[in-house]
Amino acid sequence: MTQLFAGVARADITPPVGIAHPNWGAQLHERAAGIDLPMWVTALALRSGDETVVIVDIDIIYLYPELAAKVRGAVSRLTGLPLSHIRISYTHTHSGPATTISRGGWTNEGMEMVPGYSDSLPPKIAGAAWEAIANLQPVRIAAGIGHSEIAVNRRFHRPEDGAVVVGHNWEGAVDHDVTVLRIDALDGSPIAAVVGYACHPITVGPDNDLITPDYPGIVKRVVEQNTGATTLFLQGATGNVGPIRGCARNGVVEYKVLGQRLGLAAATAWSEIDPIPRAYTYIGTLESGAPLGIFVDEPLEEPDRTLRVGNRNVELPHREYETPERLQAAYEANVRKLQELRDANGDPEEIRRVTMECKRTSMRARLAEQVNESPTVEWELQAITIGDDIALICSPGEPFVEIGLAIKDASPYSTTFFGGYSNVGGAYMPWSDAYPKGGYEIEVTPFAPEAAQILTDAAIDLLKEISAR
C-alpha cells in the first residue's frame, strides 16, 4: 500500500480598511468601510511516493493573470514544486478588495492601497504552502457526497421582455452535490477537510461596503467548529449558478445563513465518511430483554492512495468580438462621464448606471484584447487524483455548471469534483445552448459556443488517461 501524507497551514490575508472595493457595477461606494469577517489563504499539501502537490484556497474574487503568475511562481520557488503540481484556487467572493489597478477607473478612492496589498499576497500564499509541506504526516483519506440546496441556476428570463438577467431560474441546471474529502491522522484525529460546491459567491451585493469572504468563509468556519479539521473550500463550475438569497439586497446577513446551511451539510457528510474500510461480522447473541446480535468490525485492506497529477493545455476557439480600440474608447468615455457626475454631486442613480457601464466596457475591452492577440485561448486543465476513486480537476475561468456535471458523469473516478476559478486566466465559459438566449455571461465571454464541449471532452480524456496509468 502506498502511504499518503498530508499537511495544512493557513495565513490571514485580510486587506486594510479603506482599500478599493470595486466588484459591483451597481455600487455607489468606492472604499471598503470595514471588515465583516477576515480573509484567509489555506493550503493543503499531499504526498505519496515521489509526488507532492499543493492546493491553495484563497478568499479573493480572482487574481488576474500577472498577479496569479507571481503567486504561483512564488509558491514554486519556495516549495521547489513545479507549476504543474501547484493549484491556486479562488473562492470568488465579490465582497473582497481590488487586487489590480489596471482599467479600474470607475473606482478612484482606495486604489492607492492596492499595490501594497497585492505585493503582500505572493509571500503570504507561498509561506502557507511551504508550511503545509513542513506539516506533512501520514494520513488516511476518504470521500463522500452531501447535499445542499443553497444554489439555483441564475439565468432568469424576466417577464417584461424575456431578457436573461441574474436571478432565480428554478428549472435551470444546478448541482446540489457537496463533495467532501476527509483527511485524518493515523490515530483518527482530524487533519483537514476539502469542501467543493458550485454557487457564485454573490450573496453579498452592491449595497454592502464591508470586506467579507461571502458564504465560503462561513462554510469553512462551520465545518471546522463541527469537525476540528482545517477546511478548504473549492469553488465549482458556477458560471451560471447563484445563491437562493441575498445578491441584490441584505446579503451581508444572508451570506452567514447560507454558509451555515452549506457548512452543516458538509460537516454531516464529513462525519459519515469512515477513512478505514470495515467489514461487520456476527459473532453471537447476547440474551437480554430482547436477543441482541453482537457484531465486531474488522478493518479491511486499505485502498490504494497513490497520488497522480495530470496537466493539459487546451486550445479553445474565440468568438467574433468588437475591436479593442473601440471598446477602450467607450470605456474611457464612461470613466470621464462618471468623474463629471461625481465632481458635480450628480444623481446617485445616474452614477450607479454609469459605474455599471464603466465596468461592462472595461470587461469587454480586456476580453477583446485577448481575442486580438491570438485566434485561440490556451486554457490549462489540471487534475489531481488519489487512488482509484478520488479526482479533483480544475480550469481557469467561470465554467457553466453543465460542464462540471458532464465531467462528473463521464469520469472513471467515483468521486470527481470539477472546479473553475483556478490558476491563471479568467472569463465565462458558457454551455453552447446558452448563446442564442443572450444575457450577461454571453455578452462578456470571449469563447465560441463550441469551446465548452472541447474543454469538457479534454477534461474527461485527461481523467481517463490518468486512471489508465
| Mean pLDDT of the 143-166 span | 96
pLDDT of residue 371: 66
pLDDT of residue 106: 66
Region of residue 254 (phi > 0: left; psi between -120 and 50: alpha; otherwise: beta) = alpha
| Mean pLDDT of the 226-239 span | 98
pLDDT of residue 361: 80
pLDDT of residue 372: 65
| 151-155, 178-182, 261-265, 337-341: segment of lowest average pLDDT | 337-341
Torsion angle defined by CA atoms of residues 157, 160, 166 and 169, in that order, rounded to the nearest 10 degrees: -40
Confidence check: pLDDT of 10 > 80 = yes
pLDDT tens by residue, 121-136: 999 999 999 999 999 9
Residue 371 vs residue 50, higher pLDDT: 50
Residue 426 vs residue 87, higher pLDDT: 87
The C-alpha atoms of residue 7 and residue 282 are separated, in whole angstroms, by 38
pLDDT tens by residue, 273-284: 999 999 999 999
User: pLDDT class for 140, splitting at 50, 70, 90?
Assistant: very high
| pTM, full prediction | 0.92
pLDDT of residue 370: 66
pLDDT tens by residue, 307-351: 999 999 999 998 877 777 888 888 888 888 888 888 888 888 888
The C-alpha atoms of residue 216 and residue 111 are separated, in whole angstroms, by 26
pLDDT of residue 44: 98
Cell match 474565440: residue? 318
| Mean pLDDT of the 71-75 span | 98
Average pLDDT, the chain: 93
| Mean pLDDT of the 366-381 span | 78
The sign one gets for the Cα dihedral 228, 232, 235, 236 is negative
| Mean pLDDT of the 384-398 span | 97
Share of the chain above pLDDT 70, in %: 97
**How, if at all, do strands 164-169 and 151-157 pair?**
antiparallel
CA-based nearest residue to 107, from 359, 360, 367: 359
pLDDT tens by residue, 182-201: 999 999 999 999 999 999 99
The residues near 50 (Cβ < 8 Å, ≥ 6 apart) are none
Give the cell for residue 101.
489597478
pLDDT of residue 324: 78
| 57-61, 182-186, 332-336, 363-367: segment of lowest average pLDDT | 363-367
**Sequence spans of domains, the chain:** 4-275+306-318+375-467, 324-373
Confidence check: pLDDT of 104 > 60 = no
Residue 337 vs residue 379, higher pLDDT: 379
Confidence check: pLDDT of 102 > 70 = no
The residues near 200 (Cβ < 8 Å, ≥ 6 apart) are 92, 154, 238, 239, 241, 242, 243
Chain centre to alpha carbon of residue 378: 20
pLDDT tens by residue, 415-463: 999 999 999 988 899 999 999 999 999 988 989 999 999 999 999 999 9
| Mean pLDDT of the 280-296 span | 94
Spatial contact of 60 and 39, defined as CB atoms under 8 Å apart: yes
| Mean pLDDT of the 266-292 span | 94
Confidence check: pLDDT of 403 > 90 = yes
The C-alpha atoms of residue 331 and residue 378 are separated, in whole angstroms, by 26
The sign one gets for the Cα dihedral 58, 64, 66, 67 is negative
